[in-house]
Structure 1
Amino acid sequence: MACFFKRLVDFKMNRKQNPRPNPVSSPRTGDRTKSRCREPKPSSTYSPPVAASPSQKLDCSARWGKEYDVCVCHTEDDVTYVQELVSFLELHPHSLRCFLQLRDSAPGGAICTELCHAVRESHCWVLVITPSFLKDPWCRYQMQQALSESLAANGRVIPVRKQLEWKDYPQELRFMYSIDVWLDKENGFQRIKHAVLYYLSELCRKEVEQSDSVQSQPESNVDRVSETLDLSGNC
């Protein structure tokens, strides 16, 4: 009996010194797994590539090399029509740079000098051809200057027929397409703008192609120089 009480006392003492873990407070298997794992990363969202704006597509040194994108040649009788056309071409987002004679000519400058400067500093020329245009010597002069600057029909000269019959159309312009705005003015504005934008986009595209070809040439030249050095060393 004394031995039994001694064992009971030893059991109670061991229980106090080493208490049994509480099953409620002990970590569960799922908790241990979470503690070892890192926090999940947020799922990456797909961001589509940003398309180039119209102004960025026309941003090249070849375009900025001239002062104007388009020069509008007209008579005083068509001032109202031309002002509406220029306002349309200068709208955002393309914001074409237009030369308007009454607005952009230098005060005190010679007419011949100002017209020649406008033609040479423009990429495209819109000729608003009317019966009054054909009777104006300065308009005829500006038309001849534009044709001499662009000998080939590459889109720089844009003839616009306004209240003009075909029999009176200048012979110098009959080898290229024209835009007839006699009945549909709004659609004519769109076609004129499209023609100018097409030429400018082709101008910038050719500049990019030329720069790419120039960048690829130095590598080939280096290879040729290295081959020459190797041959000289073998000799």
Structure 2
Amino acid sequence: MENQSGTTPLRDRVTQKLHAAYEIWEVFARASFGQRIIQVETSTPEELRAVWAVAEGQYGCALPEEMSQEDQLAFLSFNTCDEVSYIFLEVLKHMLGEDVESISWWRIRPKQSRKVWIGMEDDAEELPYDHGHLRVQLVNGTVLIPDFTGAQNGWLFEVLEAEVYYKTRCEDGTEPWVVPAEEQEHLPQSYAAQLREVVVKAVDKLCWENTEDIVEAPEEEKIDMKDMLEKVQEAVRHFCVRWGEHIVRIIQQRVAGPSAG
């Protein structure tokens, strides 16, 4: 049964949950942002470039307030597509439940409408790169793509059917390909694996049991996600601070250790 817009209740329900997942991504991206932007060199519709400085152990650094929302999202998503795909491959399983037949991780050669660099002033232009994303196949066979990190390529977030996504966002003459299973694995003690565990736990505890209420309730009765998102942000920020402190200890031990010299 279709609604007035021509989409099915199943697709509507999953699409709304994917938009909720995108809000979770943005909150977690801001909370784990580990690059301190010290100067934006260029900001045009086609290009965004900045000089950055690494502050070991300092995470969640605020982006400059004068930056537009579009620019902020471009920086937050820059060079994180594979990490985000790895994390949300698991998170979406917890959020989407029985509406989904499968979730898989793919890559494309992107057709960019914006280019982003974060580096030193004399860095050369980046070479073409691949872009990771997730494919969500519903139980009715529909395949949707929620590309959380498309802002680095100049794409606003929207949930698209696979055919539309590839037609508009693949570089001409290229095809998508699935990420090999061995590339999808991370060591349990790695940053990405531990961050995924933190996000999944936060989603399970704070969002999953309320997801149906968020999606199904009338507009005036919908639960405000603000409190839940703040809890996710708090959990991620706490993890990143601890991780940063851990990295600093390792660096100090290496410098002070017997092999230093």
TM-score, structure 1 as length reference: 0.34
> Could you say which structure has the greater relative contact order, defined with CA pairs below 8 angstroms and 6 or more residues apart?
2
**Of the two, which has the highest radius of gyration?**
1
- Between Structure 1 and Structure 2, the one with more strand by share is 2
- Between Structure 1 and Structure 2, the one with more helix by share is 1
TM-score, structure 2 as length reference: 0.31
